[in-house]
Amino acid sequence: MKKADYATAVFGKWGIGDFGSTGAPDRHGVDRFYGYTDQKACHTYYPPYLWNDGKKEVLNTSLTAATIGHGSQPKGEVLAETYRAEQHSSDLIADRMLEFVKEKAREKKPFFLYYAPLEPHVAMQPLQEWIDRYPREWDKRPYRGAHGYLPHPRPRAAYAGMISQMDYNVGRLLDTLKSCGLERDTIVIFTSDNGTTHDAGGVDHRFFHSVANLKGLKGQLYEGGIRVPGIIRWPGKIAPGKTISQPAFHADVMPTLCALAGADAGSPLGIDLSPVLLGKKSALKDRKPMVWAGGGYGGQVAVRFDAKKVIRRNLFPGKKPGNREVYDIVKDPAEKNDIAAENRDLIDRAIAILDREYKPAPGFQALRYKAPEQPAK
């Protein structure tokens, strides 16, 4: 995008590396950055500082171990105030983002903006005004902290409050684009990096029916872990209110935006979805298979073809590899019927694709996706 004369900015969460490291935002084409560069630091909304480009901006000086730590409170009354400090990061990050948009509007400079708010990642620390919007009857007992996440007296209301606070700041962004006269010239994509989390940090996905009838949660390659919102808006160009059934994943975002912006995408992992978005085609037939390879949650891989997905889990050394599974995602989105036995040819294709495309990151152990399967019982 920079080669096409776009200003580039990231606001919120960046998990690749601190400034001064090879993973720093300014080492990856980012002109303007404000937010977190440490995934662990993202577990609090009251950080001691945020990175303002290459400088640390101090936010909270009265921090305690309880405020920024990963603790629990087995006994006594749980109070939200115990886990707060002076400055909450969410609205502050959004304020800096809106300043950037207004600045580029004045300069008449095209921009690429990546906004990655923390919400609704735990710990539960939304502002009280958002918690108070939800019924007290939702929460019969406090969350006392576990798995390194902070306690909260009203975890269900707090979780809903975090989502509402995120929604508010997304709304502020859309309002700013409109007031700056940029609404019809700006493509907005709203999505998420994963499905809802496990019952950690006070999250209650069953109460909110977060994954409906889908199988799996965050960190898993079943649909409940990877099927996320994909909402795209471009007034006057993309017809509103329509649903596109074209399979897509995050690797498609960059080549799609580059195509729409007239930029060179190089050799991307994904494909250009613009013909479908603009209504020129109803679907892209024979798209490149979508590939996932993750080291977390025991190590797992998945390859999605048009309708079917091959998945294998527990691939880290020391783990007992699971057998390969195959699901028809169109007919069986809940992944209840494993059809691996009648799709050995698809499994062979998936292995060949992984042989070609999967490369372990330096310092990480290779996933054993070719390990022998367990004999059928």
| Residues in the chain, total | 377
Instruction: Kindly report, residue by residue over 115-124, the tens digit of the pLDDT.
Output: 999 999 999 9
Q: What is the pLDDT of residue 149?
A: 87
Specify the number of domains making up the chain: 2
Q: Which helix (H) or strand (E) holds 257?
A: helix 253-261
pTM beyond 0.85: the answer is yes
Residues 72 and 156 in one domain: yes
Instruction: Answer yes or no: is 254 within a domain.
Output: no
In percent, the amount of the chain with pLDDT more than 70 equals: 98
Question: Mean per-residue pLDDT for 43-52?
Answer: 93
Instruction: Answer yes or no: is 126 within a domain.
Output: yes
Residues 161 and 16 in one domain: yes
Note down the domain range covering 155: 2-237
Q: Is the pLDDT score of 330 beyond 70?
A: yes
Residues 150 and 70 in one domain: yes
Residues 211 and 76 in one domain: yes
**φ/ψ of residue 232, rounded to 5:** -125, 130
Closest alpha carbon to 351 in 315, 298, 319, 318: 315
Instruction: Kindly report, residue by residue over 25-42, the tens digit of the pLDDT.
Output: 999 999 999 999 988 888
Least confident of 63-77, 143-157, 232-246, 339-353: 63-77
Residues 93 and 222 in one domain: yes
Cis peptide before 151 (omega within 30 of 0): no
Q: What is the pLDDT of residue 69?
A: 61
**Cβ count within 10 A of residue 235:** 14
Q: What is the pLDDT of residue 66?
A: 66
Q: What is the pLDDT of residue 214?
A: 96
Residue 64 binned pLDDT confidence (cut-offs 50, 70, 90) = confident
Instruction: Answer yes or no: is 193 within a domain.
Output: yes
Q: What is the pLDDT of residue 77?
A: 94
Residues 229 and 351 in one domain: no
Instruction: Answer yes or no: is 210 within a domain.
Output: yes
**φ/ψ of residue 365, rounded to 5:** -75, 145
Instruction: Kindly report, residue by residue over 302-323, the tens digit of the pLDDT.
Output: 999 999 999 999 999 989 999 9
Residues 161 and 38 in one domain: yes
Question: Mean per-residue pLDDT for 181-202?
Answer: 93
Instruction: Answer yes or no: is 246 within a domain.
Output: no
Residues 39 and 176 in one domain: yes
Q: What is the pLDDT of residue 333?
A: 97
Q: What is the pLDDT of residue 1?
A: 83
Q: What is the pLDDT of residue 304?
A: 97
Instruction: Answer yes or no: is 276 within a domain.
Output: no
Residues 323 and 199 in one domain: no
Residue 303: CATH number of its domain: 3.30.1120.10
Cα 135 from Cα 132, distance rounded (Å): 8
Q: Is the pLDDT score of 58 beyond 80?
A: yes
Residues 98 and 228 in one domain: yes
Question: Mean per-residue pLDDT for 91-109?
Answer: 98
Q: What is the pLDDT of residue 67?
A: 67
Cα 121 from Cα 198, distance rounded (Å): 11
Cβ(287)–Cβ(271) under 8 Å? Answer: yes
Mention every residue, 6+ apart, whose C-beta is less than 8 A from residue 134.
Answer: 154, 156, 157, 160, 161
Residues 162 and 303 in one domain: no
Instruction: Answer yes or no: is 131 within a domain.
Output: yes
Rg of the chain over Cα atoms, rounded to whole angstroms, equals: 22
Residue 163: CATH number of its domain: 3.40.720.10
Residue 377 binned pLDDT confidence (cut-offs 50, 70, 90) = low
Residues 213 and 336 in one domain: no
